[in-house]
Structure 1
Amino acid sequence: MDILLIGGLWLDASAWDAVVSDLEARGHRPVPVALPGQGDGSASATLDDQVAAVLAAVDAADKPLVAGHSAACTLAWLAADARADAVSEIVLIGGMPGNDGEPYADFFEVEDGVMPFPGWGEFDGPDSADLDERAKASFAAHAVPVPEGVSRGVVRLADERRFDVPVTLVCPEFTSAQAKEWLAAGQMPELARARRLDYVDIDSGHWPMFTKPAELAGILARIADGV
């Protein structure tokens, strides 16, 4: 199956390299999506540009599974909104979809038109507990500042058929039990309306593509295979 992989903030497509090789060995066709403004040197990219890149990847694939990580869970969900009939399933890794009318990822300060990686102090605890100092240094060195037009872009959802697309929430630094509590408390309104929502735990921090790539690939492969 075609599996589209969409990285979160500060990541370029190479973040998925270890996951890609494992998925290929399992017989799938992984496609890391190159997001405008995250790896191509463009600081003027907008959220619409990133959505267009994701939709182009969907259109070029054969009924793909679309996996989004962290903030890009919203990009995966926007793909379900725009291409409900063309997406087989959505996988959300370490995040949840944003809501219509809200900023995409206005989480940290913008400097000179971009939102740089804010440093590891913002991610102390479960997010980064499985990253050693060498891994942290490598991440920070390769982190791509996210254009303001992306981080502060407004999410627009329009087609309620998105709720018909099956969803799996992969839970890394939080557990499926916690996610279910958030859902019950009304903190994930988009997922609360999903007609099929499954949960999978993975024992990792927020970036399992770096720390548990084989396990993450196994989870994606099993979802794609319907196991």
Structure 2
Amino acid sequence: MDIILVPGFWLDGDSWAEVTGPLEAAGHRTHALTLPGKESADADRSGIGLRDHVRAVVERIDALDEPVVLVGHSGGGAIIHAAVDARPDRVRRAVYVDSGPLAAGTAVNPHLPTRGSDLPLPAWDDFEEADLVDMTARIRADFRARAVPEPAAVARDPQELQDPARYEVPVTVIACEVDAATMQEWITQGHPYVSELARIRDREIVDLPTGHWPQLTRPADLAATIITALQTSQPAGDVAP
């Protein structure tokens, strides 16, 4: 399958490097995206918003011949959900890595501190303890060295959705900070955080206990979890890798 991997805030396509190898070894074709404005620390991020990132994903979907799987980490979950909305007939499964589908009219995180058109990586002390589970000193140092400021508007722009066919696309949520049982309880209780997820017909929530960045802390396990999710997405006649 063609797998489009969408990074979360402050990360580029290379952040998936330790995940793409196992996916490709399993027979998949990977497309790890670097989104507009995240090409380098010096890139111009003025005028780049959430829809620009969604458009970049949709353009990659359109450039591929076969239906795709979308994988989105953190803020990338909002992006892939809007891409599903734009191309529901071209997406075989959406995989949310410590994230979930963002409802229309809401923003990823409008409260993060910005610097002009940039949203820089905050100090580690500004994150919750659960975010940083398994984030060793080496991983933190590598992350900060590679971090690229997020276009500020991506965090605060409202999500735009139009096609209810998005609810027919199967979803896997890979739960890291909050476990699957808690997320399922939130769905039962009607918690607003999972309001959009609750409307998806075919959904599964699987646990991968670690901090917010499993592609850095547990990449082999993340790849294995994605591969397992995709085995249920093979169309009739295909041979699962």
2:128, 2:154 → 1: CA distance? 25
Q: 1:127 aligns with which of 128, 131, 137?
A: 131
Q: Aligned-pair distance for 1:180? A: 0.9
- What SS does the aligned partner of 1:126 have? helix
Q: 1:56 aligns with which of 40, 59, 66?
A: 59
- What SS does the aligned partner of 1:189 have? helix
Name the structure 1 match of 2:118: 114
> How many equivalent pairs are there?
227
Structure 1's consecutive aligned runs of 4 or more residues displaced over 3 angstroms after TM superposition are none
Q: 2:228 aligns with which of 198, 222, 227?
A: 222
Q: 1:203 aligns with which of 181, 204, 209?
A: 209
Q: Is the 8 A contact 1:28 1:221 kept in 2?
A: no
Q: Which amino acid in structure 1 is aligned with residue 201 of structure 2?
A: R
- Give unpaired runs (5+ residues) of structure 1: none
Output the TM-score relative to the length of structure 2: 0.90
Q: Is the 8 A contact 1:4 1:33 kept in 2?
A: yes
1:95, 1:122 → 2: CA distance? 19
Name the structure 2 match of 1:39: 39
CA RMSD, aligned part only?
1.4
Q: Which amino acid in structure 2 is aligned with residue 16 of structure 1?
A: W
CA displacement, residues 82-118 of structure 1 (integer Å, 9 cap, x when unaligned): 1000000111110122221122332311112211111
Name the structure 2 match of 1:100: 104
Pairing of 1:98-177 with structure 2 (within 5 A)? 98-177=102-181
1:124, 1:199 → 2: CA distance? 22
Output the TM-score relative to the length of structure 1: 0.95
Q: Name which of structure 1's ranges 201-210 and 141-150 shifts more when overlaid on structure 2.
A: 141-150
Shift of the 185–37 alpha-carbon distance from structure 1 to 2, 3 Å rule, reads: farther
CA displacement, residues 33-56 of structure 1 (integer Å, 9 cap, x when unaligned): 121112241312221211110101
